[in-house]
């Protein structure tokens, strides 16, 4: 009998989602919990037992037909660990969903992406955020294609680039304070080239202080540059999570 895993608040072998792959002329299927497959692919869900209803490999899940051992060995180059094979199928296989389910999933992801963009982005000219409805309208006008295997967060940057053809939009910048020895000013400014400084000065202790707005995606690189250039004597402090005027943008 196959080993069955029942995640918290899940009923045994209900709400089944099938992921299918074809290798070496044979079809292999695994039984998963709906809404967990995409979470696994997006890196949100880490526990394989919360995704798989069974670690068994099937030739046909709906009929309960298990895959033959010789077919598995031939198709997966001798790999015998069925859990590892399940992971391969999870990542590379096709999730079997009805047209109705697919439309519902795409609609939910579209809404999630619009909400994320509304929270993270602003009009660079006014520093005001766009409403969710305005983002949705712009996404439709730009014919934004939602990628079902990626989370809304993972699609933000590519979507912003496409939306810029229709509206003035950018990811809201962070405000940071950089502090480092004056002796490191020249190499630090070289590392920070391309970043506009809001304020710059020196302290009585011989430290250079810079207030700047940066792209959130540059935060870790700048933090590492300060650590490397100053040999650990510099620091970066986050002042404002995002440069934004709370009143929503209007068209």
Alpha helices in the chain (DSSP H): 37-41, 69-75, 82-92, 99-120, 132-141, 156-163, 185-191, 219-229
Instruction: Evaluate whether residue 211 is within a structural domain.
Output: yes
Last-in-domain residue among 96, 131, 157:
96
Decide if pLDDT at 11 tops 70: no
Helix (H) or strand (E) holding 215: none
Beta strands in the chain (DSSP E): 16-23, 26-33, 58-60, 65-66, 94-96, 121-122, 170-171, 174-181, 197-202, 207-214, 235-240
Q: What is the pLDDT of residues 124-167, one digit of tens each?
A: 999 899 999 999 999 999 999 998 878 899 999 999 999 999 99
In a domain, 247, yes or no: no
Q: What is the rounded CA–CA span in Å between residue 243 and residue 226?
A: 22
pLDDT tens digits, one per residue of 70-88: 999 999 987 889 999 999 9
Q: Does residue 153 form part of some domain?
A: yes
| Bridge partners for 4 per DSSP | 54
Instruction: Identify the CA nearest to 76 among candidates 41, 26, 32, 38.
Output: 26
Question: How far apart, in whole angstroms, are the C-alpha atoms of residue 223 and residue 226?
Answer: 5
Q: Is the same domain home to 209 and 226?
A: yes
Domain range for 56: 16-96
Q: Does a structural domain hold residue 137? A: yes
Domain boundary among 81, 96, 111: 96
pTM score, whole prediction: 0.64
Q: From CA 127, how far away is CA 81, in angstroms rounded?
A: 53
Can you give the pLDDT at residue 160? 96
Residue 68 lies in a domain: yes
User: From CA 126, how far away is CA 143, in angstroms rounded?
Assistant: 25
Query: Considering the domain boundaries, does residue 214 fall inside one?
Result: yes
Give the pLDDT confidence score for residue 96 in this predicted structure: 86
Same domain, 139 and 182: no
Mean pLDDT of the chain: 87
From CA 151, how far away is CA 128, in angstroms rounded? Answer: 25
- In which band, very low, low, confident or very high, does the pLDDT at 6 lie, cut at 50, 70 and 90? very low
Residue 41 reports pLDDT greater than 50: yes
Report the pLDDT value the prediction gives residue 244, as an integer from 0 to 100: 64
pLDDT over 80 at 98, yes or no: no
Question: Quick check: 247 pLDDT over 80?
Answer: no
**Would you state the pLDDT for residue 64?**
87
Tokens 């590392």 belong to residue: 191
Same domain, 104 and 143: yes
| pLDDT at site 20 | 95
Q: How many domains does the chain have?
A: 3
Mean pLDDT confidence for 40-67: 91
- Whether residue 26 is predicted with pLDDT greater than 80 in this model: the reply is yes
CATH code of the domain containing 144: 1.10.10.900
Residue 8: per-residue pLDDT:
40
What pLDDT, on a 0 to 100 scale, did the predictor assign at position 7?
41
Check if the beta carbon of residue 212 is closer than 8 Å to that of residue 196: yes
Q: Are residues 219 and 203 in the same domain?
A: yes
């Amino acid at each position: 009998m196959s080993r069955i895993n029942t995640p918290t608040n899940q009923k045994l072998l209900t709400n089944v989602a099938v992921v299918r792959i074809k290798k070496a002329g044979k079809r292999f299927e695994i039984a998963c919990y709906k809404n967990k497959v995409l979470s696994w692919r997006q890196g949100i869900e880490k526990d394989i037992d919360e995704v798989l209803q069974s670690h068994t490999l099937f030739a046909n899940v709906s009929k309960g037909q298990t895959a033959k051992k010789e077919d598995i060995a031939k198709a997966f180059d001798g790999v015998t660990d069925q859990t590892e094979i399940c992971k391969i199928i999870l990542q590379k296989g096709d999730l079997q969903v009805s047209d109705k389910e697919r439309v519902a999933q795409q609609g939910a992801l579209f809404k999630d992406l619009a909400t994320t963009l509304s929270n993270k982005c602003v009009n660079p000219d006014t520093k005001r955020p766009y409403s969710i409805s305005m983002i949705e309208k712009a996404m439709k006008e730009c014919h934004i294609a939602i990628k079902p295997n990626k989370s809304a967060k993972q699609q933000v940057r590519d979507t912003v680039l496409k939306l810029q053809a229709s509206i003035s939009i950018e990811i809201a910048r962070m405000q940071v304070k950089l502090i480092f020895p004056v002796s490191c000013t020249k190499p630090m400014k070289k590392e920070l080239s391309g970043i506009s400084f809001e304020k710059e000065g020196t302290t009585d202790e011989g430290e250079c202080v810079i207030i700047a707005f940066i792209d959130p995606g540059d935060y870790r690189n700048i933090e590492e540059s300060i650590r490397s250039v100053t040999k650990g004597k510099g620091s970066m402090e986050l002042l404002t999570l995002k440069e934004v005027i709370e009143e929503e943008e209007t068209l």
